[in-house]
Amino acid sequence: MEENKQTLYNDELLDILPDGVIIFNINGEVIQLNRQAQTELHVHSSANEMMPLSTNDLFKLLNNKEDILSVILEKIRQGEQTYSLPEHTFMQEQVDYTQFPIRGDFATIKEDGNLKKILFFFRNITVELTQEYILNTALQRTRIYPWYYDINRSEFTLDNRYFEHLGISAGENNTLTMEEYVNMIHPDDRQAMADAFIVQLSGMETFDKSVPFRLHRGDGTWEWFEGQSTYIANISGHPYRLVGICMSIQEYKDIENTLIEARKKAEESDRLKMAFLANMSHEIRTPLNAIVGFSDVIGSTYDELSEEERADFVRLISINSEHLVRLIDDVLDLSKIESNTIKFTFTDCSLQSLMMDIEKEQAMKPISEIEIRASFPNEDVYINTDATRLKQVVCNFINNARKFTEKGYIHFGYAVDPVNADSVNIFVEDTGSGIPQECQKEIFDRFYKVDTFKQGTGLGLSICKTIVEHLQGDISVESEMGKGSRFIVTLPFERRTED
C-alpha cells in the first residue's frame, strides 16, 4: 500500500515537470512516460498501461541522420553514469514521424550498486532555436552586438562578431577587462560612459537613454557606436550584472555629416548668390558708366582732344566694352548651366591651331608690362572636343591671370601628360599674386571670389569647371602665394597624325 502511494507520488512529480521524462528498464525498453513526453511523442496517457514498449514504437534519436539511442543505452549499461546528447540531435516521434530538435541528458538509478532504471530528460528546443535564429538574423542585419558585464569580476563578455567588426583580437572567452574596454573608448567620450555606468552600478535606475561613443578600431580609425543597457539585481536588490547592446551608428554619422556639410554649402551658396546679385549692379554700372562717359567726352570735345588722348579714350571704351561682354556671357552661361541647356558640339580639333589663334588674339590686346608666352610641342595633338568651349576656358584662365598679375609673364600651351600618354595637359601659368592654400579647393565653386575687390562675378572658374567636365576632362590648380598660379585642364586624346 505504501509502495503504491510512493509510486503515485513519484508519477505526479514527473507529470508536473516542464521537460519530457522517459524511463527505460535495463533491457532498453520504455516503462514509463511523463505527461510532457506523452505530448511530444503524440501518445495517449493510457500508453503507460501497455508498458514495457519498444523504443522503435515510440521514437528515434537522430544525429547526422543516424539513430543513436541504442548506442547511448549500451554505453550506460556498460557503466557510464550520465550522458548528454550531442548538438543537432533530433527526436522523431513514431506516430506522425515529426522531427524536432532537442536537448537532453541520461541518468541512472541503481540499487545495491546494480543498474535498475535509466532516466532520459529532454526538452523540445524548436521555439528556442527559432527565437535564436530570428535574433541572430536581426543582429547580423543591424550590426547590433549584445554584451554583459560581470560586476564581481569587473569583466565584459562580448559577442564575437563585435571583435570581428572592429578588427581586433578577441580576449579569452570573448572577454575584456574594464581597463581594456575603457582604453578602447575615445578620450572625449569616456566621461559620459563612466557616468552611465555609475548610475547603473549604484542600482538607482535602469539606463534607458542611448549613449553615443567612439571605439578605436584595429586599423587605427574611430567608429561611432550607440550603447544601451540595464542591470540584473540579486535578491537584495543590488546589481550583480549589467546587460546591454552596442550598435554601430557610423553610417548614420556619415549621413549626418554629409547633410550638415550640404547644408553649409547651401547656406554658403545662398550667401554668395546674394553677394553676387548685389555686386551685379556695380559690375554692370562700372563699365557702362565708363563707356558712356568716355563716349560723351569724345563726342563733345573731339576737336579739342589730341590724337593720343582720343586713342586713350577709345582704348578705355574698348576695355570696358570687352569686360561688359564677358560679364553678360558669364550670366548667360550660368543661366544655361542652371537650366541644363548648355550645348556642346564635338569635332576633331588641332590643339596647335587653337593655341595659335589664342596667341594671335592675345597679341592684339593693349601692350602692358606682362609678357604673354605660348609654347607647344612640334608634334600636333588632335582631340575630339568642342573647340569653342575649350577656347573659352583657356581665354578665361588668361583673363584671370591678367587681373592678378602686375608684372612678369603669362605662359600658356599644352603638352602630352608625362604619366598618361593618352591624356594631354593644357595649361595657363602666371607670376601673379597666387592663391592661398585654403582657397584652392573653393575657387571653382559658383560665385566664389578670392579677392572681392577685383572685378568679376565669381562665375568664370565655376563655368570653366562645368565646361571641362562636359568635355570629359579634369581641371586643377597649383599655386603658391607670391609666386603665381598654374591652371591645368587634362583631356583624353588618341594619338594620330594629320590626314
Domains annotated on the chain, with CATH: 2-128 (3.30.450.20), 143-248 (3.30.450.20), 274-338 (1.10.287.130), 347-492 (3.30.565.10)
Q: Grid coordinates standing for 20? A: 519530457
* pLDDT 10s digits, 233-281: 888 888 888 888 888 899 999 999 999 998 888 887 777 666 666 555 5
Using the predicted structure, report yes or no on whether residue 380 has a pLDDT greater than 70. yes
Report residue 89's pLDDT band, with 50, 70 and 90 as the boundaries.
very high
* pLDDT 10s digits, 178-194: 999 999 999 999 998 88
User: What is the model's pTM?
Assistant: 0.48
SS (H, E, C) the chain: CHHHHHHHHHHHHHHCCCCEEEEECCCCCEEEECHHHHHHHCCCHHHHHHCCECHHHCEEEEECCEECHHHHHHHHHCCCCCEECCCCCEEEECCCCCEEEEEEEEEEEEECCEEEEEEEEEEECHHHHHHHHHHHHHHHHHCEEEEEEECCCCEEEECHHHHHHHCCCCCHHHEEEHHHHHHHECHHHHHHHHHHHHHHHCCCCCEEEEEEEEEECCCCCEEEEEEEEEEEECCCCCEEEEEEEEEECHHHHHHHHHHHHHHHHHHHHHHHHHHHHHHHHHHHHHHHHHHHHHHHHHHHCCCCCCHHHHHHHHHHHHHHHHHHHHHHHHHHHHHHHHCCCCCCCCEEEEHHHHHHHHHHHHHCCCCCCEEEEEECCCCCCEEEECHHHHHHHHHHHHHHHHHHCCCEEEEEEEEECCCCCCEEEEEEEECCCCCCHHHCCCCCCCCCCCCCCCCCCCCHHHHHHHHHHHCCCEEEEEEECCCEEEEEEEEECCCCCCC
Report residue 376's pLDDT band, with 50, 70 and 90 as the boundaries.
confident
Determine the pLDDT at residue 207. Answer: 55
Determine the pLDDT at residue 287. Answer: 65
Supply the angle between the helices 460-470 and 307-338 in degrees, to the nearest 10.
50
Q: Quick one: how far is CA 125 from the chain centroid?
A: 39
Determine the pLDDT at residue 66. Answer: 94
Determine the pLDDT at residue 39. Answer: 93
* pLDDT 10s digits, 311-344: 777 777 777 777 677 667 767 766 776 667 778 8
Instruction: Please tell me the distance from the alpha carbon of residue 135 to that of residue 146, in angstroms, as a whole number.
Output: 11
Residue type, 335: S
* Mean pLDDT confidence for 130-142: 82
Determine the pLDDT at residue 83. Answer: 94
Using the predicted structure, report yes or no on whether residue 21 has a pLDDT greater than 80. yes
Report residue 285's pLDDT band, with 50, 70 and 90 as the boundaries.
low
According to DSSP, the residues that pair with 124 across neighbouring strands are: 102
* Mean pLDDT confidence for 456-473: 79
Higher pLDDT, 473 or 199: 473
Instruction: Please tell me the distance from the alpha carbon of residue 411 to that of residue 486, in angstroms, as a whole number.
Output: 9
Using the predicted structure, report yes or no on whether residue 229 has a pLDDT greater than 80. yes
Higher pLDDT, 345 or 316: 345
* Mean pLDDT confidence for 19-42: 93
Q: How many CA atoms lie within 13 A of 28 on its CB side?
A: 17
Using the predicted structure, report yes or no on whether residue 24 has a pLDDT greater than 50. yes
Determine the pLDDT at residue 5. Answer: 46
Polymer length of the chain: 499
- The position carrying cell 594620330 is 496
Q: Grid coordinates standing for 55? A: 523504443
Sign of the torsion angle spanned by Cα atoms 414, 448, 282, 432: negative
Higher pLDDT, 494 or 464: 464
